[in-house]
Amino acid sequence: MERSRLCALPLVLLALLAGPAARAQTPPQAASILADPGFQEAASKGLNALYDMDFATADDVFNELALRYPEHPVSPFLHGLLPWWAMQLEPDDSSQDDAFLADMEEVIARCDRRLKADRRDIDALFFKSGALAFRGRLHSDRRRYLRAARDGKQALGYLRDVLARDPGNDDLYFGIGLFDYLADVVPKRYKILRPFALFFPKGNRERGLAELDRAMTRGRFVGTETAYSLLQIQYLFEQNYPTALRLAQGLRQRYPDNSLFHLWEGRIDERLGRVADASRVFEEILALCQKGRTGYTNAVEEQALYVLSRVEMQRDHHSVALAYLERLEDLNARRPLRTDYQSLARLRHGMALDALGRRAEAVRCYREALAMKGSPEIVAERAKLFMKAPYRGEWVPPAVAVSAKHR
């Protein structure tokens, strides 16, 4: 019953671009902002603050860059990263959508003006590709897959144009690598997205992984974004949990205040059967949520409480699990948003009651979970199953051995 919200997987149905800045070289006709050492230093400072959830500092840096480059598409692009990360922290909250889309539209408009003057403008090509890719990612998150596919196809075209002009730019291999990997893997996993794969050329899983490794280890600006995407790929698709944990721990070491990286460390610990470590990590998260630490939002607390209940049930601590579930249900009762965790928590509440021998109460929880509209399919499947026969015990994920191909 795992609910993973991967930044944007399946993203644009595949065509995701690199991070917000890349090291680009251009033909003699124009100098790129991305090759300017002053810009590189300031952008790195802002991005590092953003990744560490220091949004005030990131905003200050991006505002300074906007004053320095008032007509350049980089200004609204960087500004748009602030609502983008707010959406990652509260993925079911669409209140930031309009602000983010307005920034991406402004990027595209500025790029179009530059391309009208010079079709070879490297910055216009790069930032238009980025804006289209990010806009497509949001469309994908909101299940507007046709729009996502259209934006993704355009983004990929512009990105390949930039790469053809500067094939030695390691940062660009983040976007290319994600496309190659996801275009091969995602349609095989998600049937609903197979028709949209016709919009794109064929991908290649092995080549994509190699390109992503190149971007992570050799790229100037996209190492963090690439590591985060690889973490999710290794967890969701490759199911190589030791590698995913190594990536999560590396990101945590570099950005200790990033709540999303913190969550991933605990989730992977649980998947590896390291329940004591998982419990410790999620208790840390709850403590930071209670302190109101930036980035530790209601959605982060919601996920921590749910996984902690699952961890405690794996340890046969069903009364402890019930306490976490009651806290989760109280949190959700105070939130205006409806999320999948509401029905998942009600289902698991019934499971914990069943394990404690409180059958009548458990059946009532299953019925309530079934009655919740828009719930994940697994809620209905499990609720119907446990209404017929009581829940008997939690499945404990075994420690995962690393196969030869992952070493």
- Nearest CA to 263 out of 84, 2, 16 is that of 2
100 Cβ neighbours under 8 A, 6+ residues apart: 80, 83, 84, 87, 134, 138
Which range, of 58-62, 202-206, 225-229, 316-320, averages the lowest pLDDT?
202-206
The one-character DSSP state at 342 is H
The alpha carbon torsion through 389, 349, 281, 249 (nearest 10 deg) reads 50
Handedness of CA 179, 184, 189, 193 (dihedral sign): positive
Which range, of 29-33, 48-52, 114-118, 129-133, averages the lowest pLDDT?
29-33
Domains 33-238 and 259-388 share a fold: yes
CATH 1.25.40.10 for domain 259-388, yes or no, is: yes
List, as one string, the DSSP characters of 240-273. -HHHHHHHHHHHHHH-TT-HHHHHHHHHHHHHTT
SS3 call for 362: helix
pLDDT at 167 over 90: no
Which pLDDT score, from 0 to 100, does residue 16 have? 34
Q: Which helix (H) or strand (E) holds 384?
A: helix 377-388
Most confident of 88-102, 165-179, 198-212: 88-102
Q: What are the boundaries of each domain within the chain?
A: 33-238, 259-388
365 Cβ neighbours under 8 A, 6+ residues apart: 346, 347, 349, 350, 353
Please, are residues 122 and 29 in contact by the beta-carbon 8 Å criterion?
A: no
Please, are residues 15 and 156 in contact by the beta-carbon 8 Å criterion?
A: yes
pLDDT at 17 over 70: no
Q: Mean pLDDT of all residues in the chain?
A: 87
pLDDT at 215 over 90: yes
pLDDT at 250 over 50: yes
Which one has a higher pLDDT value, 27 or 187?
A: 187
Which pLDDT score, from 0 to 100, does residue 12 have? 34
CATH of the structural domain 33-238, one choice from 3.40.630, 1.25.40, 1.10.357, 2.60.120: 1.25.40
Please state, as a whole number, how many other Cβ atoms lie within 10 Å of the Cβ of residue 61.
Answer: 21
Which pLDDT score, from 0 to 100, does residue 198 have? 60
- Nearest CA to 219 out of 24, 7, 14, 12 is that of 24
Query: What is the pLDDT confidence band of residue 201, given thresholds at 50, 70 and 90?
Result: confident
One-letter identity of residue 48: N
Which pLDDT score, from 0 to 100, does residue 401 have? 36
pLDDT at 193 over 80: no
Tens of pLDDT, residue by residue over 285-304, are 999 999 999 999 999 999 99
List, as one string, the DSSP characters of 98-152. HHHHHHHHHHHHHHHHHHHH-TT-HHHHHHHHHHHHHHHHHHHHTT-HHHHHHHH
Q: What is the mean pLDDT of residues 202-206?
A: 90
b (16+ CB within 10 A) / e for 363-401: bebbebbbebeebbeebbebbeebeeeebeebeeeeebe
